[in-house]
Amino acid sequence: MVLGALTVLTVMLTEFQDQTSAELGSALTERDALKAEYAAKSAINLSRLLIASEPTIRKALAPLFLLMRRGPPQIPVWQFADQVLGAFNDKTGAEAFRLLAGVDVSEGKHLGLDGAGFEITIVDEDSKIDLNTAARGDAFSQARLASQLSGLMLGPQYDSMFENADPDGAHSDRQTICSAIVDWTDPDQDAYTCDPHSGTAQQAGAEDSYYEMLKRPYQRKNAAFDSLEELRLVRGVGDDFWSTFIQPDPSNPDKRTVTVWGQGKVNVNTANAQTLLAVICGNAPAAPLCNDPLQASSFLSAVTMLRGFTMGAPLFSSTRGFVNTMKGTGPIGTVMAAVGLQPVVFLSDSETMKAITTESRVFSIYATGYVKAGKRETRVKVHAVVDFRGAPPPGMPNLGQLSSLGLLGSDGATGPGGLGQSGATEANPLAGLPADASSSAIVGALRPSAAGNIIYYRIN
């Protein structure tokens, strides 16, 4: 009886101990997850501040570029966010900042995080091909996206990919997939023939009923993509297509060649070599580097080499400079000719320049907050897309927003009560608007602040 009682007590004690340990571990995980989430949110806000300060940095460097007889280009400060913002991070981040700036922040006040840290990666979305360009609904936007997609898939090394069947058993060639992406976003019901360089008029029929004939049918959206994952619904976008053109390396989002958050033009100063090749081939499909794998390989190597030499500094001062470089003129064009690249003859220089830019306005901020406690590490990832189009310089009020809210007088001074009385906040700028607010007031309230507008936000 004694041995039996001891056995029962031992089992009960062990079960009670396991239950208590599990509840304690769960509580600690929840606590650490909350700390990690706010560390990631802190990184998001610091990154917005860094990007917003770029015009001020550019202005300070203007005299240096005037000596070179050129205007100051956009400075890609976001590429060094992890080191620059290290002063506000944990000890590892502070060490990275010390190596970058030569400044020891250990004696500073109210700097750094205690018990938590963050990692930051900022991706320039304007350096990608914007798949939502066709959502504007006009023929020029459709043709621009079609030409860029055609250039992206043009290489003969991709022939085998389009010869195999899709996950649904259908066969989709380059033109079919290109048309499917355009038709998913454009607002009309007409099938788009993805042949932007055809010299003849194209007769458009009704969009095909491919999606309605699937085992689990659904309808074409006919509106802009909300996220990259939505591309999985488009005809022909299988695993091979996804890993080749959409997201080659999930751990490095900067290797993406497409986006759904861009402003519609590709920044040639920040686009990777594969995206630049797609832009070129979309506007010059007969170019040797678009049809010869050796020429394409030489171009990719040359761009990567030049980017390494300049350490992130912009290569092109204008869109005209990019076009002239690809024609073999200028210092960079001479370098490319030296490695055996043949000059590119564009179908139209003006149309090519309309599809590219040298400044970025939309950025993805990937922030990971972490908390380390012994052998346990808790991590929370936050992905925010911030649009800086129309954002005023830091330190200046958004006059358009104040006026629309009725807080700005004719003399430019804020009205009685100021912003505090309106109830509007950055997280919800419409909170202070009355129920019968006019459309102009709503538009004004949604105008971006100096830190930009968050247009996509996701926590993992």
pLDDT digits (tens, 9 = 90+) for 295-311: 888 898 888 888 887 77
For residue 457, the tally of other CB atoms under 10 A from its CB is: 12
Strand order, beta sheet including 117-124:
117-124, 362-373, 376-387, 453-459
Give the whole-number percent of the chain exceeding pLDDT 90: 33
Average pLDDT score over residue span 117-122: 94
Mean of all residue pLDDT scores within the chain: 83
pLDDT, position 137:
86
Half-sphere exposure of 106 (CA within 13 A, CB side): 7
pLDDT tens sequence across 145-177: 999 999 889 888 888 888 877 777 778 888 999
Average pLDDT over residues 418-429: 44
The pLDDT tens digits for 389-416 are 888 877 665 544 444 444 444 344 433 3
List, in sequence order, every residue forming a beta bridge with 342; answer none if it has no partner.
none
Contact 115, 161 (CB under 8 A): no
> Which residue has tokens 């009923």?
209
Residues near 306 by beta carbon (within 8 Å), at least 6 away in sequence? 315, 332, 335
Q: Residue 279 burial by CB count (10 A; 0-12/13-18/19+): exposed, middle or buried?
A: buried
Res. 251 pLDDT band, cuts 50 70 90: confident
End-to-end alpha carbon distance in the chain: 54
| pTM, 2 dp | 0.81
